[in-house]
């Protein structure tokens, strides 16, 4: 996965959910976080360690954080899930969540082995 793919996914979902403002994406190493956003600066942060997972997972992470920005809320409420499930079925989200947790756990295990 490269940064061009990230920009393409961002543009696609911004258009589909109706976000017209500029959104920044920063990719960094995190030990325990998959992704998060800053609602004030409209910045999405993605864990660099997850970029080697498949594109569906990156799409989910970007869409998930864009919905927080669109709804201007850090919470997962009914409106959040209603929009999310329009794009990704709940069963697939459960699968993606499992893959993300497995990868983050592997990162933690590798960090312990290095210590």
- For residues 24 and 9, what is the distance between their CA atoms, to the nearest angstrom? 13
Residue pLDDT, tens place only, 15-40: 999 999 999 999 999 989 999 999 99
How large is the average pLDDT for residues 70-99?
Answer: 96
Which CATH code of 3.30.2010.10, 3.30.9.10, 3.20.20.70, 3.30.70.260 fits the domain covering 3-114?
3.30.2010.10
3-class state of residue 46 by DSSP: strand
Entry pTM? 0.93
Domain boundaries, the chain: 3-114
What pLDDT is recorded for position 1?
Answer: 59
Cα gap 10→19, rounded to integer Å: 10
**Can you tell me the distance from the alpha carbon of 65 to that of 69, in angstroms, rounded to the nearest whole number?**
6
pLDDT in tens, 48-75: 999 999 899 999 999 999 999 999 999 9
> Residue 70 CB: number of other CB atoms within 10 A?
18
Q: Which of 46, 53, 50, 6 is nearest to 14 (CA)?
A: 6
Distance CA 1, CA 26 (A): 14
* 74 in Cβ contact with 39 (< 8 Å): yes
| Structure-block tokens of residue 74 | 């850090």
């Amino acid at each position: 996965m490269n940064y061009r793919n990230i920009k393409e996914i961002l543009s696609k979902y911004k258009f589909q959910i109706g976000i017209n403002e500029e959104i920044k994406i920063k990719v960094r190493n995190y030990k325990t976080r998959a992704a998060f956003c800053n609602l004030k600066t409209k910045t999405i942060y993605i864990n660099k360690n997850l970029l080697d997972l498949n594109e569906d997972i990156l799409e989910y992470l970007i869409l998930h954080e864009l919905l927080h920005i669109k709804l201007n809320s850090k919470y997962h409420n009914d409106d959040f899930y209603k929009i999310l499930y329009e794009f990704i079925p709940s069963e697939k989200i459960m699968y993606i969540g499992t893959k993300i947790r497995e990868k983050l756990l592997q990162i933690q295990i590798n960090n312990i082995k290095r210590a």
